[in-house]
């Protein structure tokens, strides 16, 4: 028998409106789950009393017959980059940021106006500048899939996927500049959507790169991500239920998945390639067409990652202009890479901006023979924390973690990661699907069709060991 938190968001929305459950009950279940797995350290600021207040408002509205949106009464964790009035923003740094960064931007305003339940601020890598999830100021969340070793959860939205797996939230807000939604989703066995640049406003979010930053969402299933996306997205007029109905009938036989054979398959940990190949084979057996395609811009994007994009320069400028007093206290794992941006000439900075525009135009033409392009989301198993505590080990693993996800950011695409299996160490493997800029609806329809073929994360992977034995 399903507990309330085992239900889909659609089922919960129906139950809330029918009086079969309450926002308070959902919130208390989330609080109990977090208390039982507190050592996972998902949150920088855990706010159960604030969540209870949000739940009370949602329940009062339901009782009065007031329905303010699809996320009313739904527990949502928020990355510690988003301003939320009354909850300090640290952005992973050593102290709270100035008051301006508590200002709520459009994404948070949407959730608050719908009376969503904010459970707290989840950990982020300092200033979101890293793909592994490491934070020396406040501790690195534990990946719940390894009960013996402290493995990283992926970053920079480090606590987002952990909050979902421990059951302290049903939706998690993150940001994605080079993979910061998809990497933690992949490494924790959840689903993560990177939206197209400018699809969602980044107002009220501490910036890493004004050029590349995107807001995104994680959830336990593709269906829940699609439900949340429709609830937040400013361009969708239909309700979340109507949107799901619109995209659920996409037949497998109408889908063509493009497969590239550039560097995305290199240096994969044991079991990663095998998991992705098995997933794609299952899709093909269900009627999906697999097609080899050329995406030479993949190589260009990976080369750009290696030499440094514009993120370091833009982050360096932000620190100098807004947080100069923070500079001397930055984690060396972050500060040494930010300093790279200080060495970028104005001409080279503008050259790279032009490269992004030109390369995105080319890459978006590669979809004429396929609907989406597939790859492993992350090619490596989540490293153990001690392996990435020093700069050399950190740099090598960070580059590999970001390598495949940065492609979508640098080529101006939207992308999603779906749990595909477990590698040989028992850690989750994600399948990345990339689509044209602004084509989130089509991407979600295809991702949902794939999920219907291979099963949800809990069906395919089971429960993480650090959660299963404490429930």
pTM of the model: 0.97
User: What spatial distance separates the first Cα and last Cα of the chain, rounded to whole Å?
Assistant: 15
β-bridge partners, 78: 121, 173
Active-site residue (options: 77, 110, 156, 168):
156
pLDDT for residue 468: 79
**Boundaries of every domain in the chain:** 4-468
* 180 catalytic per annotation: yes
- Per the document, the length of the chain is 471
Question: Alpha-carbon distance 228 to 397, whole Å?
Answer: 31
Question: Alpha-carbon distance 471 to 458, whole Å?
Answer: 15
pLDDT for residue 19: 97
By the 10 Å C-beta count (0-12 exposed, 13-18 middle, 19+ buried), 321 is classed as exposed
pLDDT for residue 76: 98
Q: Give residues with Cβ within 8 angstroms of 253, minimum separation 6.
A: 287, 288, 289
Q: pLDDT tens per residue, the chain (471 residues)?
A: 567 788 999 999 999 999 999 999 999 999 999 999 999 999 999 999 999 999 999 999 999 999 999 999 999 999 999 999 999 999 999 999 999 999 999 999 999 999 999 999 999 999 999 999 999 999 999 999 999 999 999 999 999 999 999 999 999 999 999 999 999 999 999 999 999 999 999 999 999 999 999 999 999 999 999 999 999 999 999 999 999 999 998 899 999 999 998 799 999 999 999 999 999 999 999 999 999 999 999 999 999 999 888 999 999 999 999 999 999 999 999 998 898 777 889 999 999 999 999 999 999 999 999 999 999 999 999 999 999 999 999 999 999 999 999 999 999 999 999 999 999 999 999 999 999 999 999 999 999 999 999 999 999 999 999 997 665
Looking at residue 382, the DSSP 8-state letter turns out to be: P
pLDDT for residue 340: 76
C-beta of residue 204 within 8 angstroms of C-beta of residue 72? no
Active-site residue (options: 8, 44, 77, 79):
79
Active-site residue (options: 8, 163, 180, 240):
180
Question: Alpha-carbon distance 169 to 356, whole Å?
Answer: 35
C-beta of residue 238 within 8 angstroms of C-beta of residue 21? no
Name the architecture of domain 4-468: Alpha-Beta Complex (3.90)
pLDDT for residue 2: 61
Question: Alpha-carbon distance 180 to 131, whole Å?
Answer: 6
* 79 catalytic per annotation: yes
For residue 379 the two structure tokens come to 């090619």
* 196 catalytic per annotation: no
Question: Alpha-carbon distance 207 to 333, whole Å?
Answer: 18
């Amino acid at each position: 028998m399903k507990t309330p938190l085992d239900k889909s968001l659609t089922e919960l929305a129906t139950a809330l409106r029918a009086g079969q459950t309450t926002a308070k009950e959902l919130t208390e279940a989330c609080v109990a789950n977090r208390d039982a797995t507190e050592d996972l350290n998902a949150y920088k600021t855990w706010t159960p009393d604030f969540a209870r207040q949000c739940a009370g408002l949602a329940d009062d509205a339901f009782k009065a017959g007031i329905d303010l949106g699809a996320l009313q009464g739904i527990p949502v964790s928020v990355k510690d980059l988003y301003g939320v009035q009354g909850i300090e923003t640290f952005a992973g740094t050593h102290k709270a940021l100035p008051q301006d960064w508590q200002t709520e931007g459009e994404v948070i305003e949407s959730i608050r106006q719908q009376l969503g339940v904010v459970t707290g601020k989840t950990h982020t890598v300092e200033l979101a500048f890293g793909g592994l999830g490491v934070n020396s100021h406040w501790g690195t969340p534990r990946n719940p899939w390894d009960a013996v070793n402290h493995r990283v959860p992926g970053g920079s939205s480090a606590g987002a996927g952990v909050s979902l797996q421990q059951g302290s939230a049903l939706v998690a807000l993150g940001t994605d500049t080079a993979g910061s939604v998809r990497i933690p989703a992949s490494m924790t066995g959840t689903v993560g959507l990177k939206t197209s640049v400018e699809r969602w406003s980044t107002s009220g979010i501490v910036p890493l790169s004004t050029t590349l930053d995107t807001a995104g969402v994680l959830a336990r299933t593709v269906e829940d991500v699609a439900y949340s996306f429709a609830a937040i997205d400013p361009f969708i007029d239909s309700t979340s239920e109507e949107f799901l109905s619109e995209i659920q009938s996409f037949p497998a036989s109408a889908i063509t998945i493009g497969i590239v054979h550039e560097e995305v398959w290199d240096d994969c940990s044991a079991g990663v390639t095998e998991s992705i190949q098995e997933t794609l084979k299952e899709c093909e057996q269900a009627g999906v067409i697999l097609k080899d395609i050329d995406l030479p811009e993949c190589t260009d994007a990976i080369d750009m990652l290696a030499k440094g994009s514009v993120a370091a320069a833009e982050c360096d400028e932000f620190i100098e202009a807004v947080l100069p007093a923070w500079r001397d206290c930055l984690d060396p794992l972050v500060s040494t890479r930010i300093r790279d941006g200080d060495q970028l000439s104005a001409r080279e900075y503008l050259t790279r901006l032009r490269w992004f525009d030109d390369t995105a135009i080319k890459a978006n033409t590669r979809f004429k023979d396929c609907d989406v392009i597939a790859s492993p989301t992350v090619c490596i198993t989540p490293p153990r924390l001690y392996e990435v505590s020093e700069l050399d080990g950190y740099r090598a693993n960070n580059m590999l973690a970001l390598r495949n996800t940065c492609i979508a950011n640098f080529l101006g695409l939207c992308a999603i990661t779906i749990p595909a299996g477990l590698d040989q160490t028992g850690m989750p493997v994600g399948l990345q699907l990339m689509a044209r800029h602004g084509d989130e609806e089509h991407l979600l329809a295809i991702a949902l069709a794939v999920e219907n073929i291979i099963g949800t994360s809990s069906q395919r992977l089971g429960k993480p060991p650090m959660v299963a034995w404490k429930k």
